[in-house]
Amino acid sequence: MNQLYPLKFTPVFKDKIWGGQKIKTSLGIDYGNLPNCGEAWMVSGVEGNPTLVSNGFLAGNELNELVEIYMGDLVGDKVYDEYGIEFPLLIKFIDANDWLSIQVHPDDELAAKRKIGRGKTEMWYILEADEEAQLIAGFNQKMNKEKYLNHLEDKTLKEILNFEPVKKGDVFYIPSGRVHALGPGILLTEIQQTSDTTYRIYDWDRIDAAGLQRELHTEEALDAIDFEFHKKYRTDYTPVINKTVPVVKSPYFVTGLITLKNPLKKDYEELDSFVIYILLEGSLTVKWEHGEIQMKKGETVVIPNALDTLELIPTGLVKLLEVYIP
């Protein structure tokens, strides 16, 4: 069997009622003839939407097929024991040219009860934000089911939601159950559990191309919503040159930010997981014992668990996210 190597994938593209052009214009990713691209799924094991390897001798293979063949060598023994042949993370770029629906995702427990796979906890790293750009994360006051339903019925939901102004580099952790929405003028990368379950609470009374409103999931959402009020929803971190700075640590993924000016050696011998690199700025050479690959802004690479040591060689200033399963 040939040796595993860092894997690139051909993205799966989604045009959306709220999508824009920045995945092409800012990230240089060609999404073909779609009128817009709301989402580019860079690494996906979601059923019906798998990404295919685009480099090396494994080109053309689906991600989950490779998990089935390589098991722990690809994802790590512990990860394989827990998730089987389903790759546990979905990595996306999202371009919001208009408000996304106000929505919520179920947790693992509720998803299992409803027989819809896993729950969906996610995080956002903001790549670009227009001056007035904002998003919704959680509630802006103490909340309960009854109060929430009153506002939903009166079409005054906005009054109880927490609107956050956003800028490049901001991070928001969105655990399952947290009500959220992206506003116009935001380009981001999203790291999430492998799940495509979204409960739409409110869609701004929007009409689609066929003159219809999109379906809402009022009842389904009710059991999923975490009504807890938090004083803070943004995640703080401080970048350090030539170091990996922890940004988000959750039961489902750990994400760090690497800011590079000089080559950096990475040792993953103690880690029983694959690693994903998402290149946010600049260009980079990833070097391992048997070869090297180039990465440019907007590219995502999966480092198999079998590769213990790497060297990251930047061209100029480079920023990338490092993601793995704890």
Positions annotated as catalytic residues are 200
Q: How far apart are CA 264 and CA 156, in angstroms?
A: 51
The neighbouring-strand residues paired with 301 are 277
171: amino acid identity, one letter: V
Q: Which DSSP symbol is given to 138?
A: E
Number of other CB atoms surrounding residue 147 within 10 Å = 14
Length of the chain in terms of residues written? 326
The angle subtended at Cα 256 by Cα 252 and Cα 257, nearest 5°, is: 145
Q: Coil, strand, or helix at residue 155?
A: coil
**Reduced to 3 states, what is the DSSP secondary structure of residue 250?**
coil
286, 268 Cβ separation under 8 angstroms: no
Q: How far apart are the first and last CA of the chain?
A: 28
Written as six digits, the tokens of 65 are 């097929």
Q: Which residues of 46-63 are buried (b: 16+ CB within 10 A; e: fewer)?
A: beeebbbbeeeebeebbb
